[in-house]
Amino acid sequence: MFHSIIHRSSTIVLDDIKIRLIETRDAEQISAYYQRNRHFLAPWEPLRHEAFFSLAGWQQRLEQIATLHRHEMAFYFVIEHRETNTIIGVINFSNLVKSPFYACHVGYSLDQDYQGKAVMRRALTAVCEWIFIDKHFHRVMAAYMPHNNKSGSVLTAVGFEQEGLAKDYLLINGQWQDHILTSLVNPNWSLPIN
């Protein structure tokens, strides 16, 4: 569905949103996103040091992310409002493993003011298509806390299937939390030609 969009541009455009890889020039905007959503996201994320919310912290972090992008060790996307170019969400692929696994993990968050508008469902669908088509991955794995109904609904809508429950899986907001494990498998996977 997104194949032609992905190969024409490094930016995926979907109606009112744009999705693209984060760049070093985004430090001010991404720090503003996390500052704006600090309390809203806290119950769903690890405890963060103050540097995580600062411009200087993000300038340094984005240099590291640029290196990860160059070596295809991770992919960090931002979701922007199409008219204002404001960052309203993030989607990150990490723990990328090629042969014989061809799998990775995905994590995401969305601005509190854009909840309930199918933004994350549309964006996650698009970037999963990208990682399957452009990067030849077979499996994308996501985990969410059982009481995070919104995240569970997004993953189900995108096509992720439940695979199990992991006890004390991640240290979230200072507490070990159980997580429901899910995955999305690329039905059209073929061995990459390199």
For each of the domains in the chain, give its residue range(s) and CATH number, in order of start: 3-138 (3.40.630.30)
Q: Mention every residue, 6+ apart, whose C-beta is less than 8 A from residue 43.
A: 172, 173
Residue 8 has pLDDT above 50, yes or no: no
* Verdict on whether the full-model pTM lies above 0.85: yes
Q: Mention every residue, 6+ apart, whose C-beta is less than 8 A from residue 78.
A: 19, 20, 21, 22, 26, 29, 30, 87, 89, 90
Query: What are the pLDDT digits (tens) for 69-100?
Result: 999 999 999 999 999 999 999 999 999 999 99
Give the pLDDT of residue 11. 87
Strands 161-172 vs 175-185: parallel, antiparallel or unpaired: antiparallel
Residue 59 contacts residue 115 (beta carbons within 8 Å): no
